[in-house]
């Protein structure tokens, strides 16, 4: 999987994710375009600000056209085709997370040979657009509720920093991240941290009453 393929998959996936959230919130077609564009480009804007790359590099005719065409298709799809939008939203959001986190790390290592900056670029590229999208529909950003998002972006950054950048390795990273994230959200996996253990005990105690 080349960088270009990864990039196209990422923007399409996050565009679809943003559109599905807009549909769930019962926004108009304007809302679908706004959330789709925000989810697709929000993380890249934050990343470029962090590593000092001009924002103008994000905007090109092919990228914007790809996102707009994707969103237009979703607007005209019959609702019965996207009735399972929650499940599809999780799937496309997971693909976007993986591909954008890798993109952020790849962009960072071209400018800085620094693991910390690579992790920051990977994290904000992966979750930045989704966080802005969630805030626009007045819901708590999933990336701030679930630790798995940050953990997976850190793993992506470390892999890229270790020069796992050939197509086979990039494809492997995407598959692992998407699979892990879907299972983590679906089965509510949590890191064994003290506050999570306390919530788990309280939840079990409440279910027994």
pLDDT of residue 55: 87
Beta carbons of 93 and 24 less than 8 angstroms apart: no
pLDDT of residue 60: 83
pLDDT of residue 38: 95
Beta carbons of 101 and 180 less than 8 angstroms apart: no
Q: How far apart are CA 182 and CA 176, in angstroms?
A: 10
Per-block average pLDDT, block size 10, for the chain (209 residues)?
A: 75 90 92 95 92 86 92 86 66 88 93 93 93 93 83 95 91 92 81 61 54
């Amino acid at each position: 999987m080349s960088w270009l393929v990864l990039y196209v998959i990422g923007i399409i996936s996050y565009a679809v994710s943003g559109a599905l959230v807009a549909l769930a919130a019962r926004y108009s077609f304007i809302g679908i375009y706004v959330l789709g564009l925000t989810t697709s480009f929000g993380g890249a804007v934050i990343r470029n600000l962090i590593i000092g790359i001009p924002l103008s590099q994000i905007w090109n005719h092919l990228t914007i056209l790809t996102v707009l065409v994707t969103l237009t298709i979703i607007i005209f799809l019959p609702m019965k085709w996207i009735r399972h939008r929650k499940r599809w939203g999780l799937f496309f959001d997971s693909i976007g997370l993986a591909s954008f986190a890798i993109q952020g790390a790849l962009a960072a290592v071209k400018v800085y040979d620094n693991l910390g900056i690579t992790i920051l670029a990977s994290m904000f590229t992966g979750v930045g657009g989704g966080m802005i999208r969630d805030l626009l529909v007045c819901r708590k950003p999933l990336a701030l509720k679930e630790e798995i998002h940050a953990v997976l972006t850190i793993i992506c950054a470390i892999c890229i920093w270790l020069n796992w950048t050939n197509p086979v390795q990039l494809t492997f990273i995407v598959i692992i991240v998407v699979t892990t994230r879907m299972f983590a959200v679906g089965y509510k996996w949590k890191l064994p941290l003290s506050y999570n253990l306390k919530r788990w005990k309280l939840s079990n105690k409440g279910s027994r009453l």
